[in-house]
């Protein structure tokens, strides 16, 4: 079975109504990264950060997987599909994909701010975390998100997966955030690389086949190309 590795970014979930970060009108035009997505921001104003992620979760529980997510889940019938996602939503899993690695954490999980960093699962009916919400050991809970300036614990696992790909398909990421964007450099020389995005992505390696389209339509083109 051919191994297809997917590297997905915010554009993958755009058709589900979840806004991207760096497009016009994206999240980082409305919020200051340093305030809501860094350890320092959380120290300065934890309530603001918790509220930001409560809003992200509210949007997620009101969303559902789009056609692109469903196409990827269905491809598991024919290929060994591994998804490495920068997205913190769980729409790949909701669509039915079984091998999903979250590089930047998961919205529907929280963890303790103590050294043990115990992780807890939230539910669709109970997804808010506020100041004063503590783990059983008495420590404040924080989002299970990799903030800017924090280690990316899954990066080594992601590199190992990319190294064994027959096909790598990059979907809906501006490739501006590292180390995620560097993963494309770990493919075997014999593997084929596709990139699906409606906009031009800068500084791509020359061997990339660009499919200039949104995720769902681009994935349909991709499936025809590899069939
Ligand atoms: N289908 C496919 N791609 C799309 C679509 C769509 N419908 N709509 C927009 N895009 C593309 C944009 O053209 C852009 O290239 O998705 C990309 C989104 O880029 P970013 O907003 O920068 O998102 P991403 O690359 O995932 O960001 C990386 O940055 O802020 C952090 O931690 C956050 O994981 C995130 C990381």
Q: Give the residue whose CA is nearest to atom 13 of ligand 1.
A: 199
Which one of 69, 149, 172, 175 would you pick to mutate in the ligand 1 pocket, going by the greatest count of ligand atoms within 8 A of its CB? 172
Report the separation in Å between the CA atom of 28 and the middle of ligand 1, taken as the mean of its atom positions.
Answer: 11
Tens of pLDDT, residue by residue over 176-216, are 999 999 999 999 999 999 999 999 999 898 899 999 999 99
* Distance in angstroms between the alpha carbons of the first and the last residue of the chain: 13
Report the separation in Å between the CA atom of 6 and the middle of ligand 1, taken as the mean of its atom positions.
Answer: 14
Instruction: List Cβ neighbours of 33 (8 Å cut-off, separation of 6 or more).
Output: 148
Instruction: List Cβ neighbours of 212 (8 Å cut-off, separation of 6 or more).
Output: 197, 198, 199, 200, 218
Topology of the domain comprising 1-18+65-104+152-227:
Rossmann fold (3.40.50)
Class for the domain spanning 19-62+106-145 = alpha beta
> pLDDT tens string for the chain (227 positions)?
999 999 999 999 999 999 999 999 999 999 999 999 999 999 999 999 999 999 999 999 999 999 999 999 999 999 999 999 999 999 999 999 999 999 999 999 999 999 888 999 999 999 999 999 999 999 999 999 999 999 999 999 999 999 999 999 999 999 999 999 999 999 999 999 999 999 999 989 889 999 999 999 999 999 999 98
32 lines ligand 1 (CB under 6 A): no
Domain ranges of the chain: 1-18+65-104+152-227, 19-62+106-145
Catalytic residue among 92, 104, 207, 209: 104
Q: Give the residue whose CA is nearest to atom 8 of ligand 1.
A: 11
Catalytic-residue membership of 69: no
* Whole-number Å distance between alpha carbons of 55 and 47: 12
* Whole-number Å distance between alpha carbons of 150 and 156: 15
Q: What is the pTM of this model?
A: 0.97
Residue in the block written with tokens 């990059």: 170
């Amino acid at each position: 079975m051919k191994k297809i590795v997917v590297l997905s970014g915010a554009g993958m979930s755009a058709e589900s109504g979840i806004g991207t970060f760096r497009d016009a009108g994206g999240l980082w035009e409305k919020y200051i990264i340093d305030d809501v997505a860094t350890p320092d921001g959380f120290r300065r104003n934890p309530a603001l950060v918790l509220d930001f992620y409560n809003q992200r979760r509210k949007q997620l529980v009101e969303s559902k997987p789009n056609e692109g997510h469903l196409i990827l889940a269905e491809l598991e019938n024919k290929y060994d599909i591994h998804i490495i996602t920068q997205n913190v939503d769980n729409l790949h899993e909701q669509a039915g994909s079984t091998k999903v690695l979250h590089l930047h954490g998961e919205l529907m999980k929280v963890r303790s701010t103590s050294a043990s960093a115990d992780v807890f699962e939230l539910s669709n009916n109970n997804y808010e975390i506020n100041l004063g919400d503590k783990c059983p050991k008495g420590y404040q809970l924080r989002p299970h998100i990799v903030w800017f300036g924090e280690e990316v614990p899954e990066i080594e696992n992601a590199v190992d997966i990319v190294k064994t790909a027959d096909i790598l398909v990059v979907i809906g990421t501006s490739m501006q955030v590292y180390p995620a964007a560097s993963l494309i450099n770990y493919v075997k020389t014999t593997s084929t690389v596709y990139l699906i995005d409606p906009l031009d992505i800068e500084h791509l390696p020359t061997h990339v086949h660009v499919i200039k389209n949104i995720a769902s339509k681009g994935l349909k083109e991709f499936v025809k190309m590899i069939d």
